[in-house]
Amino acid sequence: MPQGKPDSVPDDGLTTRQRRTRPLLMVHTGPGKGKSTAAFGMALRAWNQGWPIGVFQFVKSAKWRIGEERALTVLGETGEGGTVTWHKMGEGWSWIQRPGTEEDHAADAREGWEQIKRDLAAETYRFYVLDEFTYPLKWGWLDLDDVLDTLAARPGSQHVVITGRDAPKGLIEAADLVTEMGKVRHPMDAGQKGQKGIEW
């Protein structure tokens, strides 16, 4: 795709403008670092376009204070770009350590998904980040068919980016854009924990 031009144009009856402004479903998956970071980078672009942004974090601890949250929240309050609403699902659980019962976490995930469904139906946001959303799908806490049907039927021009390892095959097949982050090397391989400014 040199210079941003597609290799081929489908015979789908759409104009160039209609095809170019079609809402996208995007997936960032794979074992490498940077899936959420890339999604938040896209959210910055959406903010710059003046789009309302909804971030739904599913598996990162509600107690973590990540840099992207603060930066996007502050930007959303400036009135210069789009608004930013940040939702944290669960009470301090993560994919590494999950206090509470699995039933609690599954209920939190279902509650979060129901909120997303309401927001999609109401066209609340123009850009959605469903961060670490692949995990509740992988663990069976959410019904994949319901997710795929809801995303396929979303009205208007709502872009959705989903992050997390082990994206299910059905989600990958439904997505317009899929990026797999590979890992060549990570400081954790040498026993180094995450650090400020790099992981949060």
Reported as a single tens digit per residue, the pLDDT across 53-68 is: 999 998 765 555 677 8
Query: What is the distance between the alpha carbons of residues 151 and 160, in angstroms, rounded to a whole number?
Result: 8
Q: Which overall architecture, per CATH, does domain 21-91+98-164 show?
A: 3-Layer(aba) Sandwich (3.40)
Q: How many helices (H) and strands (E) does the chain have?
A: 7, 6
The model's pLDDT over 88-124, given as tens digits with 9 standing for 90+, comes to 875 544 444 455 566 777 888 899 999 999 999 999 9
Query: What is the distance between the alpha carbons of residues 181 and 22, in angstroms, rounded to a whole number?
Result: 25
**2 DSSP assignment:** G
Computed on alpha carbons and rounded to an integer, the radius of gyration of the chain in Å comes to 17
Query: Residues near 142 by Cβ (< 8 Å), separated by ≥ 6?
Result: 109, 110, 113, 136
Query: What is the distance between the alpha carbons of residues 167 and 113, in angstroms, rounded to a whole number?
Result: 16
Query: What is the distance between the alpha carbons of residues 102 and 110, in angstroms, rounded to a whole number?
Result: 12
The model's pLDDT over 165-194, given as tens digits with 9 standing for 90+, comes to 999 999 999 999 999 999 888 887 888 887
In the chain, domain spans: 21-91+98-164
